Structure 1
């Protein structure tokens, strides 16, 4: 498949990978809702049946969420990368939790069993806690701007700070998150025990069993079997090189068979630090000495904030993967690369792996608060790449980069452009919306989600 000037090749390659999975979720949810509506037993109250429908949809979406984080190799290409699958996992779980509210209000069954009621309480409490805990670190992107100041004030109060210490950080959340399947199992059994529609319409019962059983089966696979099938590679920290006050490059040396990856991919890295083992997805910024790999670590949140201080040469590491479908070869002949802050990492991997000249016209926008620590390296590479134009934007001196400034600097018809972006979520959402409004094809806008867990 060759790349057409207007992006025909990218439409063919990108659309199925990025939209087949999300489209399938919507079709399944819609079809299941229609099936429940058509199968309402005679005499079943409408509101009560609607309430049970919401419960069934919730089980369906939670089952889909478990499939998306099962780490099965076939899931990633359907969603265009494990990072995109993780985003849809979160969306499915949040939607499923919201559907539990009308389910609780409408699906009251006077003949409900005491065991079923207990299981319902366990399921709803656990699943709601998981979702709330997951979105708390992203409260700035959820709440409207006028109330954020009030929330910041509340976060500084003693009770809230005490609660934050009790909840702990990423590792404690991750351990609790592994209970998702058990909470789903409780809700699933509650439905089997108390759903009145199942007695009259066996097809509803067996479809429910198939959906819930599938989700729980994938959960069991991930918790009990996945570790035996997924490739993991033993590494050792070879060097730790500070590149900015809160940014370090960590070189990992293989102790056995090295990881084989494509530039732009990321890996799940387990590091044994002075604070114990820590796990996080890191973009691979390039090859290191002795056949190793290099990752760039920035203090982004509670999990990575102390890594620059506690990672030392000689410490062991385990690398799983590679993952991701962030690939410049899926772009058109005219490309825009936008890197905000540590979002430059996959682009560094692309540049450091170049063997010969670029065959596409590329405008690379590097934006950072202050001079980019990689500016000299990127400029040196660009001097040997006549088709690569670098635009360094220091937001402290030049102001923020805007989509309008990008399009004006490139000067290419938007429908002929492919855009690749990495950086803060709020920035990339703004840029994506502006590029779509300017005429850039949806299938030609690619981004890496590196702030997911």
Structure 2
């Protein structure tokens, strides 16, 4: 489905999730066998809902094209995956406190403990890098102080390593399978209700099946294309641009999309999602890398011209194709990447109205001169470099004042650090920009 298709399609996925959860819960309410203890039954119901949520989470990280379509991009699907996983784990608490097992085998209880501890550990590990958004402000000083101790720095170095986390996170499906086995042999309603037993098996099979698909088949990717690194050049502010030359059929994509980049290193192939910064009409494909973590820092040091590369995708639905009024493109730091693709494609993918581009940086501004050249012959496109070292701030008031855009008619597109975008999104809504016209690319889910 084209990115220019109606955006409502991208909202059907979350609605379907809510309906599935509501329907499955209603089934447990309606099909309750006679003689079941009320409190224990509720505990087992929420345990079954937890399995459903985590199974649906497995579907959302399958990277299948239809997930991209019905969740408005796999970046948003990944956010829903996180929400489902956290909600499912929260439900495990009342499940543990309220449910009473049946006459299952001796391994049923320990299996439940192993599954729960494993899933909770992986979830906490995934959340840790975002602890500042979870911990209340008064507790942040204490955590920051503890973080400066030598043991904490060592643990932090290990836990923040993206490649280690990604490999260990692949165990999620195994822990889910252990938890499913626990529920199947220990849940008291299943002996008296074939409907509940078979629906539980179906839900579990979906989650485990998609896990096996992702581990055994999806790693081959869809739309795999062979490339070779043709150029590596620093562009400033800790960023490196990597140009890739196709060795066969090139990857077909639209401006603003991203792809999984597979590169070979001494310990094997590694993959990481990167937004495509080039125009689809260019022969070479370009990505911009900034050292934001262990993987990207190592990539900048080790990538060399001539190295083989593989791209899979494309993914994402970050596009200005639907906009009809004044567009505001706002980037923070390396968040300029999708807008580079848009700007480099102005002739082939023209915007449907005037565009005001804002790039917020500390001082150094990679690509600033190129962007000025790209918009020089575009009377309806303006570029404003906002440097905080000079006292500038890309606030909503500043953007609306300098662009002259009417907030009731404006279309906002943003990419950058999450705290910056959250604040801007709230302020744009408060200024009168409809929520349906506030769009952002989520790159911090990766």
Residue 58 of structure 1 is matched in structure 2 by 50
1:290 offset after TM fit, Å?
8.0
Residue 299 of structure 1 is matched in structure 2 by 291
Whole-angstrom CA distance in 2 between matches of 1:183 and 1:86: 19
Whole-angstrom CA distance in 1 between matches of 2:401 and 2:325: 18
Aligned with residue 95 of structure 1, among 60, 70, 87: 87
1:273 offset after TM fit, Å?
4.2
The 1:442/1:14 distance shift into structure 2, 3 A limit, reads: farther
The 5-angstrom pairing of residues 289-438 of structure 1 reads: 291-355=283-347, 358-438=351-431
Whole-angstrom CA distance in 2 between matches of 1:276 and 1:368: 35
The 1:26/1:13 distance shift into structure 2, 3 A limit, reads: same
1:339 offset after TM fit, Å?
0.6
1:183 offset after TM fit, Å?
1.0
1:97 offset after TM fit, Å?
1.1
Residue 223 of structure 2 is matched in structure 1 by 231
Question: Secondary structure, in 3 states, of the residue corresponding to 1:291?
Answer: coil
Cα RMSD (Å) of the superposition?
2.1
Residue 157 of structure 1 is matched in structure 2 by 149
Deviations 1:256-315 (A, max 9, x none): 221111111111001224675332110011059982201000011222123222222122
Extract unaligned runs of 5+ from structure 1.
1-8
1:31 offset after TM fit, Å?
2.2
1:200 offset after TM fit, Å?
2.2
**1:210 correspondence with 2:202:** yes
Residue 184 of structure 1 is matched in structure 2 by 176
Deviations 1:5-28 (A, max 9, x none): xxxx99x822331x2111211222
1:161 offset after TM fit, Å?
2.7
**1:44 correspondence with 2:36:** yes
Question: Secondary structure, in 3 states, of the residue corresponding to 1:329?
Answer: coil
- 4+ runs of 1 displaced by more than 6 Å? none
Whole-angstrom CA distance in 2 between matches of 1:325 and 1:400: 28
The 1:300/1:205 distance shift into structure 2, 3 A limit, reads: same
Q: Which has the higher contact order (CA 8 A, sep 6+)?
A: 1
Aligned with residue 447 of structure 1, among 437, 440, 446: 440
Question: Secondary structure, in 3 states, of the residue corresponding to 1:400?
Answer: coil
Question: Secondary structure, in 3 states, of the residue corresponding to 1:415?
Answer: coil
Structure 1 length-normalised TM: 0.92
Whole-angstrom CA distance in 2 between matches of 1:166 and 1:348: 34
Residue 249 of structure 2 is matched in structure 1 by 257
**1:134 correspondence with 2:120:** no
The 1:383/1:228 distance shift into structure 2, 3 A limit, reads: closer
Q: Which moved further from structure 2: 218-227 or 282-291? A: 282-291
Residue 16 of structure 1 is matched in structure 2 by 9
Whole-angstrom CA distance in 1 between matches of 2:150 and 2:296: 24
Whole-angstrom CA distance in 1 between matches of 2:282 and 2:98: 63
Asked if structure 2 preserves the Cα contact closer than 8 Å seen for 1:61 and 1:96, the reply is: yes
Question: Secondary structure, in 3 states, of the residue corresponding to 2:85?
Answer: helix
Question: Secondary structure, in 3 states, of the residue corresponding to 1:42?
Answer: coil
Deviations 1:148-202 (A, max 9, x none): 2221221222222333455471111111111111111111111110111122222
Deviations 1:95-152 (A, max 9, x none): 1111111111111226343121121112111111110111111112222222222212
Whole-angstrom CA distance in 2 between matches of 1:397 and 1:38: 64
Q: Which moved further from structure 2: 253-262 or 305-314? A: 305-314
Extract unaligned runs of 5+ from structure 2.
none
Asked if structure 1 preserves the Cα contact closer than 8 Å seen for 2:278 and 2:344, the reply is: yes
Whole-angstrom CA distance in 1 between matches of 2:392 and 2:354: 26
The 5-angstrom pairing of residues 63-102 of structure 1 reads: 63-102=55-94
Asked if structure 2 preserves the Cα contact closer than 8 Å seen for 1:358 and 1:387, the reply is: no
Asked if structure 2 preserves the Cα contact closer than 8 Å seen for 1:285 and 1:348, the reply is: yes
Whole-angstrom CA distance in 2 between matches of 1:277 and 1:221: 19
Aligned pair count reads 443
Asked if structure 2 preserves the Cα contact closer than 8 Å seen for 1:68 and 1:86, the reply is: yes
Question: Secondary structure, in 3 states, of the residue corresponding to 2:255?
Answer: coil
The 1:279/1:225 distance shift into structure 2, 3 A limit, reads: closer
1:359 offset after TM fit, Å?
4.1
Deviations 1:22-49 (A, max 9, x none): 1211222122222222333333222111
Asked if structure 2 preserves the Cα contact closer than 8 Å seen for 1:288 and 1:294, the reply is: no
